[in-house]
Structure 1
Amino acid sequence: MFTAENVDYMNRIVGNKLKKLRQANDMSQEAAANGLCMSQSAYARIERGESCSWASYINRICEFFQLTPEELVKDEEETITKNNDLIKENEMLSALLNVYREIIMIREGEILVLKAIIEDLKNNRAE
């Protein structure tokens, strides 16, 4: 369900993304606005997260900055947080895997000792 809070959040995500894209392309707000066929003030409001009119321009924006609508609205901070969580989880699982490998090596050593004992017992019986 869309709430005013959700819309504001999305506006900020898109605005921040547009600002980063514009700066990465070494463009002024005026140049970006001209490329998108909108006024500089309208573009500035979108970039500041104060307007949801970006939705009307989504196709132009995506074409102009060469990205997909999904890339435009994706929250990079959330993605970074999820990636960091996955990295931590992966590190924990790697450590756990190393512990299990150590346990297996210990058990394999114990098995070799027990096999030697069994072999000695068989040889002692045969005598």
Structure 2
Amino acid sequence: MFTAENSGYMNRIVGNKLKKLRQAKDMSQEEVANGLCMSQSAYARIERGESCSWASYMNRICEFFQLTPEELVKDEEEPIAKNNDLIKENKTLNALLNAYGKIIMMREGEILVLKAIIKGLKSNTQE
């Protein structure tokens, strides 16, 4: 169901879909906008996911790009792809965390050495 709560999400899905379709046809935003009988700026807002006016133009959009309304609004990014991206990101973050942990351990070791040197220097100056 299309509600105000999910309209932003739906706007992004439709906008991304329209951009991909337009680029696949090697067309400019102005060419598509002219084909849909709308201004280029209105079409650009739809493509950026900033407007829900695509709903008013759904029939024209579907005819222009030769797709069904269901195909227009379907989120094609598979959950598996999203999950794989999250796994890669998690591995990267874990690698960074491990690297920073090693750097911290090295610095803590250096601090201990420097403290020992300072202690030795203090005891030498007191003698």
Fold equivalence (TM over 0.5): yes
Do structure 1's residue 62 and structure 2's residue 67 form an aligned pair?
Answer: no
Measured in 1, the distance between the counterparts of 2:72 and 2:56 equals 13
Alignment of 1:1-127 (within 5 A): 2-77=2-77, 80-81=78-79
| CA distance 1:32–1:82, shift in 2 (3 Å) | same
| CA distance 1:4–1:32, shift in 2 (3 Å) | same
Measured in 1, the distance between the counterparts of 2:53 and 2:39 equals 12
* Structure in which a larger fraction of residues adopt helix: 1
Measured in 2, the distance between the counterparts of 1:17 and 1:7 equals 15
Q: CA deviation at 1:62?
A: 0.1
Measured in 2, the distance between the counterparts of 1:60 and 1:32 equals 11
* Identity between Structure 1 and Structure 2 (%): 86
- How many residues in Structure 1 have an aligned counterpart in Structure 2? 83
Measured in 2, the distance between the counterparts of 1:63 and 1:48 equals 21
SS at match of 1:75: coil
Measured in 1, the distance between the counterparts of 2:31 and 2:2 equals 32
Matched AA of 1:54: W
Q: TM-score, normalised by structure 2?
A: 0.60
Larger gyration radius, structure 1 or structure 2: 1
SS at match of 1:38: coil
Q: CA deviation at 1:4?
A: 3.4
Measured in 1, the distance between the counterparts of 2:18 and 2:2 equals 22
RMSD between aligned residues: 2.0
| CA distance 1:64–1:2, shift in 2 (3 Å) | closer
Runs of at least 4 residues off by over 6 Å = none
| CA distance 1:67–1:3, shift in 2 (3 Å) | closer
Measured in 1, the distance between the counterparts of 2:3 and 2:70 equals 20
